[in-house]
Chain A
């Protein structure tokens, strides 16, 4: 039997994602043919180690690696009888790449204005953590959830002036369970890695980054756990193009779900179906939801993608998972949102609408969603069911004001406030 070994090597040793990049194999088994080529979709691991080996018939093949950035890398190969051929991609193959694994994990735009302006970011270079952030000069303040619930949260976050007033009252947050490491990457780009111990619950965490003419409030998906282990959350702040100041990007190096998050953050859902199917086949999504030690945020991410790309009637298997995300993780707005969204997309009977209404109200009460997709889905849901509840009109107005500040190009919620 013949085989093909596929791999995607990255230069960043911190990146190792078992299901990293979606691949397509077009081919003519037995060589040549007058018909359209055969096709197989696979998920290529993004790793420094060995790749994925699959059995193929002898023949001629074109292999595509569909990166989250939209770039498509290609290789043409012939597989002989009884042979195993290696097809290796690398982040060095990405045209125009500067540094890092920008095309396979979420990363800020690679092109920076030469005169990018970032002010009021106190940069600190440190080699050891956790001592990093005990000092008052820490440049990535972490803020606990505001002591305001329900409508108050939405009204505060819609108003730049109120955000400014409140942030001026806060002091840098100290808690030994969140470690921070700062890396100055040059080119007006700073990266922080945040790591939380997996066995403690944390309050909702936000951070603030300032540019020359705007500031951004960033929702931090902490703690992020993957199969019991803690994964680092990265916050990168850079100057960006188009005359817009500091742009903050949040990413997660999750060895299982990092690939999915990269596609979600870039809006490249066109290629992500094989990735979701691969996770489902291995019951990883179900495990993520059912094991309380694991990461409900990851389950929400998978749910957002699944609801977006699968036909509602194709995703019936999700029906038993989605209510659990809402019920088991009461602090997460996104859990209630995905549950409501499933009902809206495929109502089984008219009475189910009331469940959707209650889930939407619950999501609103829980506050700003962790995911951009969640904020947009909440607004959509309020719009679609506006006539079903007398409170929805005001809720829609409040959520719309926050949505108008959303950076929709990111997976995690980032709100922008021009000065």
Chain B
């Protein structure tokens, strides 16, 4: 039977590969604003813009940018629950897709379970395979993380049947064949009164994967790296009609911020988390919210090697207002690689430019007439995950 979730497949027999599953649940029929809303379960949880957008962005990133010569991209599958005027399944378009992807699963528990099964079948062809699971949608804490699927609340007497129990899922996955497993969970972890009503009960929601005897995979569990977008009991944030903060940070971390020198500048599990912590906090602070990602149970292994290591350089100034008048240029080996000019760009409190991991020179000058002195060139060592360049401007006498 065809797997409607499959977008890309290019597995090479006998060669390890990376198998990606992306789940974005934004439309919840039984939550507030949904076609069959049930206010007794909704608890203020609304329809979400960010998850389908985030899921599409992540899929695009994997198809365009993912690079791992030891475990190249072997398959990518998607589940998308997004609002549709005709109430039809979503489709995904991309120049590299190898499958129709014109009726993606919509994210009910049955559909997610079936998709996970197919994903695992593909990923279990070789123990050296890597799996990457990305989820974006509502989540609650019932003492452990529960990820809400499209049909959460559909069964009045078994509301959590439309949910995935993350701990049980991870436990089962540890016994599965792929040795290297990355989980990127972009969901809130707040307690609600419904979730608190099941506090202390184990196994709320579906496991999707039953554990099997460890001897079937040689006795040792798989290596897992579990990345949460927020801390325990805290929310995660997404933009209206935009991607989530975590997805923005994730793309930047995978593009180079998560690269670690001690593993040859590959993006590793631990380096990824270091970058995510820096980026999510900064994005959240800019939006005047708090969000701190958390890493649970991580073993160090490499995920991907960016073709170019791009690290954000943040240029700020003292006094703050001086930056709005300064022309800032970044040079690499004498070549201009980025600039900010108040005559061309809107005023910013902090100028950001993505640069390679090298030593750069930053020039700060002012269009005349100006109250400030031009600054001598600054040498800046650009290093992951982010590089700060505060400039102390001097007023003219």
Contact = CB atoms under 8 A, between A and B. Distances in A.
Contacts of A401: 200-202
B271 A270 contact: yes
Interface stretch (A60-68, A129-137, A187-195, A294-302): A60-68
A384 B274 contact: no
Nearest to A160: B200
Contact of A70 (B211, B233, B292, B379): B292
Contact of B265 (A36, A159, A267): A36
A384 B175 contact: yes
Contact of B295 (A41, A270, A397): A270
Contacts of A387: 213
A111 interface: yes
Contact of B190 (A111, A160, A242): A242
Contacts of A61: 381
Interface in A282-337: 308-312
B200 A408 contact: no
Nearest to B203: A400
A311 B299 contact: yes
B300 A39 contact: no
Nearest to B264: A36
B278 interface: yes
Contacts of A160: 200
B298 A269 contact: yes
A70 B381 contact: no
A33 interface: yes
Contacts of A242: 190-191, 233-235
Contacts, number: 169
B233 A244 contact: yes
Q: A-side binding surface: helix, strand, loop or mixed?
A: mixed
Contacts of B201: 401, 404
Interface in B353-367: 357-359
Interface string A58-92: 00111010100111101010100000000000000
B232 A407 contact: yes
A406 interface: yes
Contacts of A27: 381
Nearest to B332: A34
Given A72-B385, A345-B220, A404-B201, A384 B214 contact: yes
Contacts of B295: 267-270
B211 A37 contact: no
A384 B221 contact: yes
Interface in B185-214: 190-191, 196, 199-203, 211, 213-214
Contact of A380 (B174, B272, B274): B174
A356 to B, nearest CB: 10
A70 B278 contact: yes
A344 interface: yes
A376 interface: yes
A54 to B, nearest CB: 17
Contacts of A385: 214
A46 to B, nearest CB: 19
Contacts of A26: 261, 381, 383
Interface string B249-274: 00000000000011001000111111
A397 B203 CA distance: 9
Nearest to A36: B357
What range describes how many residues of A lie at the interface? 35 or more
Nearest to B193: A418
A344 B221 CA distance: 7
B171 A383 contact: yes
A158 B202 CA distance: 10
A203 interface: no
Given A71-B281, A76-B381, A308-B297, A404 B202 contact: yes
Contacts of B271: 270
A405 B199 contact: yes
A28 B220 contact: no
B215 interface: yes
Nearest to B301: A311
B294 interface: yes
A111 B235 CA distance: 14
B388 interface: yes
B143 A309 contact: no
A32 interface: yes
Contacts of A39: 261-262
B379 A60 contact: yes
A418 B233 contact: no
Interface string B212-253: 011100011100000000011111000000000000000000
B357 A37 contact: yes
A408 B383 contact: no
B196 A418 contact: yes
Contacts of A64: 383
B355 to A, nearest CB: 13
Nearest to B213: A387
A311 B295 CA distance: 17
A64 B175 CA distance: 38
B296 interface: yes
A407 to B, nearest CB: 6
18 contacts: A36-B309, A61-B381, A72-B386, A76-B379, A159-B200, A244-B191, A269-B270, A270-B273, A309-B298, A311-B299, A344-B221, A347-B220, A383-B211, A384-B174, A384-B214, A403-B167, A404-B142, A404-B200
Given A309-B298, A418-B199, 14 more contacts: A62-B381, A70-B277, A70-B278, A76-B381, A76-B389, A111-B290, A244-B191, A267-B296, A268-B273, A268-B277, A309-B270, A383-B211, A404-B202, A407-B233
Interface of B: 142-144, 167, 171, 174-175, 190-191, 196, 199-203, 211, 213-215, 219-221, 231-235, 261-262, 265, 269-274, 277-278, 281, 285, 290, 292-300, 309, 333, 357-359, 379-381, 383, 385-389
Interface of A: 24, 26-28, 32-34, 36-37, 39, 41, 60-62, 64, 66, 69-72, 74, 76, 78, 95-96, 111, 158-160, 240-242, 244, 267-271, 273, 308-312, 344-347, 350, 353, 376, 379-380, 383-387, 397, 400-401, 403-409, 416, 418
Q: Which 5 A-B pairs have the closest CB atoms?
A: A404-B143, A70-B277, A400-B202, A270-B270, A62-B381
